[in-house]
Amino acid sequence: MNQPQPNHPAEMYEHYFVPAMFLPWAKILLRHAAPQSKECVLDVACGTGIVARVAAPFVGAEGQVVALDMNPAMLAVARALPAPSGAAIAWREGNAMDLPFEDGAFDLVLCQHGLPFFPDRAGAVREMRRVLAPGGRALAIVLQALERHPVFEALMVSVARHLALPVSAVMTPFSLSDAGELRALFTSAGFKTVEIRLETTTVQFPDPARFVTLAAMSSAAAVPAFGQLEAPERASLLDSVRKELESTIQQYRDGDAISFPMFAHVAVATT
């Protein structure tokens, strides 16, 4: 696969963001999930599939891993990557609010950083509950408050200001930071036990200047005002954001990389 370019967001996600940020979080999520040999696992909002790929060796060749996402470009990248050991992964296009699976089909449902993006979060969690077998478990990891992440806070404040929008319009990844709200989603869906666990990891992104540009594009990608910009205006906005973040980036430089801690809640729910 070619080196990712900004106009190929799925490849950009896989080659830049997955190794730096989503792989560490996937390992943490799987540590809490403790998948067992022969289990059937569903990865909801799988993106390019890092959680599914990490889970496959745990359940082994006699287990099953299904990875679902509504973005065909993400799934195309996932399918093109080398297969991990263990269970073969079935890549499925579908909607988290209407999972295309029978009741009780899975032992374990996982969702990494996808829940804040769902337009009907409660409906998605009910669907996770529906497709779990008796005694099954669902785990979702979501980021804690934006204020705990100074680099992303500076980035999103800058992007929002240049788009003349409130910060809330561009901070979706951090929009489910309240532990009580997260817990309520799972208790309301009928899970018998729900535990919210605190986690942290240190992320490290190569090429700090590239981080600002790509992260700014990612935070603004779902904002209609950003999509409506002509290419020169978009480039100018990204250049302005990069310049504004220079002092913040310098605080977290680690050689030729930028490194900083991140914080998350892990919901662990059982049927």
Q: Residues 84-94: pLDDT tens digits?
A: 999 999 999 99
Domain limits for position 101: 1-143+178-206+260-271
pLDDT in tens, 93-110: 999 999 999 999 999 999
pLDDT in tens, 180-227: 999 999 999 999 999 999 999 999 999 988 898 888 888 777 788 888
pLDDT in tens, 61-75: 999 999 999 999 999
Q: Has residue 55 got a pLDDT over 50?
A: yes
Are 5 and 131 contained in the same domain? yes
Are 98 and 84 contained in the same domain? yes
Are 89 and 156 contained in the same domain? no
Are 182 and 231 contained in the same domain? no
Are 32 and 124 contained in the same domain? yes
Report CA-CA distances (Å) from 168 to 117, 174, 263.
13, 9, 19
Q: Has residue 1 got a pLDDT over 60?
A: no
CATH number at residue 271: 3.40.50.150
Are 221 and 129 contained in the same domain? no
Our count of domains for the chain comes to 2
Q: Model confidence at 4, in pLDDT bands (50, 70, 90)? A: very low
Q: Has residue 126 got a pLDDT over 50?
A: yes
Report CA-CA distances (Å) from 152 to 41, 80, 145.
31, 30, 10
Are 214 and 129 contained in the same domain? no
- Give me the sign of the Cα torsion angle 99, 102, 103, 107: negative
Instruction: Give burial (CB, 10 Å; 0-12/13-18/19+) of 183.
Output: middle
Are 134 and 82 contained in the same domain? yes
pTM of the model: 0.94
Average pLDDT value for residue range 131-143:
98
Are 82 and 58 contained in the same domain? yes
Q: What are phi and psi of 134, to 5 degrees?
A: -55, 130
Are 16 and 34 contained in the same domain? yes
